C-alpha cells in the first residue's frame, strides 16, 4: 500500500470500514505476520488486499462474494478518503480487458490491472496517467 500525502492511496484491494485514519496504516507492522496482529489490524489488512468497489451498492460495506473482505460503495469510499486526507484510490485486484477502469462516476477510484504478458497496446500506466491528467 502507498499513499501520497495529498492525493492518492494505492493498495491491492480496497478500503476498510476500520480504516479511519492514516495512523491505522502506520500501526500495521512490516513485514506483516497476521499471527502478530491485533484483530482489527487483521480485518483492515484483509480489506486492503481483498475489498472491491461495487457501483450501486446500497450499504456502505457488505460481505464480499470472495468470502474474505468486504465490498464498498462510493459513499464509503468518500468517507475513508476524507479520513486519509486523499482524493483518489488506485487499486488492482480485478481484471479489466482495457487494463484500467474508473469504478465510480468521479475520480475517486480507479482499478489498474497489468500482467507480465501484457502487450504494448494495453498500457495501464498510460491509461491511468491520461485519466488522471496529472501523472508524468
Q: How far is CA 27 from CA 6, 31, 74, 102, in A?
A: 20, 12, 26, 30
Question: 96-107, pLDDT tens digit by residue?
Answer: 777 778 999 999
The pTM of the whole model exceeds 0.85: no
**pLDDT score of 17:** 96
pLDDT less than 50: residues of the chain? 120-121, 135-136
**pLDDT score of 121:** 47
Q: Give the start-to-end residue ranges of the domains of the chain.
A: 2-132
**pLDDT score of 83:** 96
Question: 37-50, pLDDT tens digit by residue?
Answer: 888 888 999 999 99
Chosen CATH of 2-132 out of 1.20.120.420, 3.60.21.10, 1.20.140.10, 3.20.20.80: 3.60.21.10
Task: Report the alpha-carbon distance of residue 56 to residue 51 in Å, rounded.
Answer: 16
Contacts of residues 126-133 at CB distance under 8 Å and 24 or more positions apart, as own/partner, are 127/98, 127/99, 127/100, 128/90, 128/100, 131/100, 131/102, 131/107, 132/88, 132/107
Amino acid at each position: 500500500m502507498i499513499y501520497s500525502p495529498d492525493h492518492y492511496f494505492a493498495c491491492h484491494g480496497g478500503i476498510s470500514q476500520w480504516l479511519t485514519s492514516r495512523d491505522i496504516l502506520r500501526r500495521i507492522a512490516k513485514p506483516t505476520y497476521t499471527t502478530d496482529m491485533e484483530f482489527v489490524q487483521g480485518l483492515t489488512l484483509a480489506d486492503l488486499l481483498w475489498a472491491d468497489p461495487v457501483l450501486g451498492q446500497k450499504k456502505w460495506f457488505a460481505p464480499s462474494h470472495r468470502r474474505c473482505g468486504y465490498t464498498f460503495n462510493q459513499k464509503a469510499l468518500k468517507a475513508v478518503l476524507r479520513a486519509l486526507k486523499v482524493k483518489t484510490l488506485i487499486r488492482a485486484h480485478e481484471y479489466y480487458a482495457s487494463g484500467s477502469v474508473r469504478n465510480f462516476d468521479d475520480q475517486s477510484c480507479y482499478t489498474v490491472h497489468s500482467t507480465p504478458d501484457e502487450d504494448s497496446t494495453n498500457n495501464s500506466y498510460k491509461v491511468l496517467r491520461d485519466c488522471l491528467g496529472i501523472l508524468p
